[in-house]
């Protein structure tokens, strides 16, 4: 803990990413928030496909921080999509490479609280700067 605070050891996710991926593998497990995720996609199916792909490709190196959203605990990641994911930004379709991801893990669900194109630069726990 002290080593993390001193910046000598990188922060690690609260939720084990392997467990998150295992839970997310079921078609009903990933729940997307409409206002913070679905709104960036032209159709619900495209949103679901992008979320599924993102959770499959996510690696621990993209982890940013853990947020305590009373009473939930959420892990935040800066996901870099290759190839980019098409999103609707201000009514225009854009190919977005960098995405802000925030989720919480429940026994049978991954609640995707945020999944949208990155709006401002963010630094991962390992010190890599990700830009929109």
Partner 1 sequence: MKKIRCAQCGKGTIRPVASPGRREWYKTMEVEVPADFAIPTCDRCGEEWLSVRQSQALDGVLETSYTAELVRLASQQLAKLAGAAVEQKRIEHLLGLSQGYLSHVKAGRHAPSPMLVAELVLLAKDPERRLKELEAFWKRRAA
Nearest to 55 by CA among 70, 75, 35, 34: 75
Q: Which stretch binds partner 1 (CB under 8 A): 3-11, 12-20, 39-47, 76-84?
A: 39-47
- Residues 84-123 close enough to bind partner 1 by CB under 8 A: 104, 106, 108-109, 111, 113
Tokens (6 digits) for 64: 């940013």
Regarding 44 and contact with partner 1 (CB under 8 A), the answer is yes
DSSP, residue by residue, 43-87: SHHHHHHHHHHHHHH--GGGEEEEEEETTEEEEEEEEEEEEEEEE
In the numeric block, the tokens 């960098």 are attached to 98
- Whole-angstrom Cα distance, residue 7 to residue 28? 38
- Name the segment binding partner 1 (CB under 8 A); options: 1-9, 14-22, 42-50, 123-131: 42-50
Q: How far is CA 128 from CA 20, 44, 63, 122, in A?
A: 23, 32, 10, 8
Nearer to partner 1, 10 or 89 (CB): 89
In this chain, which of 17, 29, 81, 130 binds partner 1, going by CB under 8 A?
Answer: 29
Nearest approach, Cβ of residue 107 and partner 1 (Å)? 9
Using CB under 8 A, which of the segments 13-21, 48-56, 77-85, 118-126 binds partner 1? 48-56
- Which string of x and - marks every residue 2-21 that binds partner 1 (by CB under 8 A)? --------------------
């Amino acid at each position: 803990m002290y080593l993390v605070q001193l910046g000598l050891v990188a922060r690690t996710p609260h939720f084990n990413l392997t467990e998150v991926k295992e839970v997310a593998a079921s078609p009903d497990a990933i729940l997307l928030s409409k206002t913070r995720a679905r709104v960036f996609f032209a159709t619900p199916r495209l949103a679901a496909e992008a979320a599924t792909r993102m959770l499959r490709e996510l690696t621990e190196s993209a982890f940013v921080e853990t947020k305590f959203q009373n009473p939930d605990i959420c892990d935040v990641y800066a996901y870099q999509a290759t190839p980019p994911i098409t999103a609707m930004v201000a009514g225009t379709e854009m190919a977005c490479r960098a995405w802000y991801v925030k989720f919480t893990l429940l026994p049978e669900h991954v609640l995707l609280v945020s999944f949208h194109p990155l709006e401002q630069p963010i630094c991962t726990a390992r010190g890599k700067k990700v830009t929109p």
